[in-house]
Amino acid sequence: MDILLVRHGESEGNAQERMQGRSDFPLTARGREQAQRLSAFLAVHRVVWERLYASPLSRAWATAEVLAGDRGGTPHVEPALREIDAGDLEGLTFHDISARFPNYAARKVNELGDFAEFGGEGYESVQTRARELCQRLEAEHRASSDRIVLVGHGGFNYQLLKMLVCQPVPRVCIVRMGNCTATLVRMHERRGTYIGEVVFHMPVELMGGTSGEGAARIFR
C-alpha cells in the first residue's frame, strides 16, 4: 500500500499567521494556486491513486476537490483527518499566545503537540486517533496494494507520518510540512512489522510555487 500525505494549500489562517486547529479557515487565492500546481505536478509524474480521503475542514476539502476534480473524481470525507484541536489557542497569533498563554509560548520542542491544558486535544488522544486511522486504512487497502491519498493538515499529518515510518514512534521528529507538501510513503512487511519508507517528500517550492508561510512556529 502506498499513502500520499498532502497538506492543504495556504489558508486565510496561514496568511494571518494564526493557530488554526479545528477553526475553519478557507483557502486563499495562493492556496488554490498551490493545489492546482500540486495537481499538475502529480499528473506530470503519473502519480495516480485508487481513493482520495480528505479532512472535512474547508481548507483541506477544497485542496482535495482540486486534486480529485482534475481527474474527474470526488474526495471521500474522513473526519479522523481533521487537524488537532488547539482549544483556546485557536485563532490566535503567536503574539497573542505569548501575551495570553506565555506557558505555551515558552514550551520546549518536545512539549508541543499537547493542547489538553487549553481545552484542546491531548498528545495521547491524538496518537490514538492516528493509530486507529492507520489500522483502519491498512485493513481496507493493504491486501489490494492500493495507493491512497490523505489530504489533511500539518499537525495531524506529521503525527501520521511518524506513526507510518517510525518504530517506536518518537515524540519529536523534525519534518517541515509546508502548504501543499506531498509525502509518498510506501508500506512494506519488514521482519514481521508492517512499516513505511518515505519515497519522496516534495514541498510546493520544488513544484515552482511559493509557500507563503511567514510563521513556521505557528502550527497548522
Sequence spans of domains, the chain? 2-10+31-84+123-207
pLDDT at residue number 215: 44
Q: What is the DSSP letter of 62?
A: H
Per-residue model confidence (pLDDT) at position 209:
79
pLDDT given at position 216: 46
* pLDDT tens, N- to C-terminus, the chain (220 residues): 999 999 999 999 999 999 999 999 999 999 999 999 999 999 999 999 999 999 999 999 999 999 999 888 899 999 999 999 999 999 999 999 999 999 998 999 988 889 999 999 999 999 999 999 999 999 998 888 889 999 999 999 999 999 999 999 999 999 999 999 999 999 999 999 999 999 999 999 989 878 776 544 445 5
Residues that are catalytic: 8, 83
107-136: burial string, b at 16+ Cβ within 10 Å, e else: eeeeeebbbeebebbebeebbebbeebbee
Does CATH number 3.40.50.1240 belong to domain 2-10+31-84+123-207? yes
Provide the whole-model pTM: 0.94
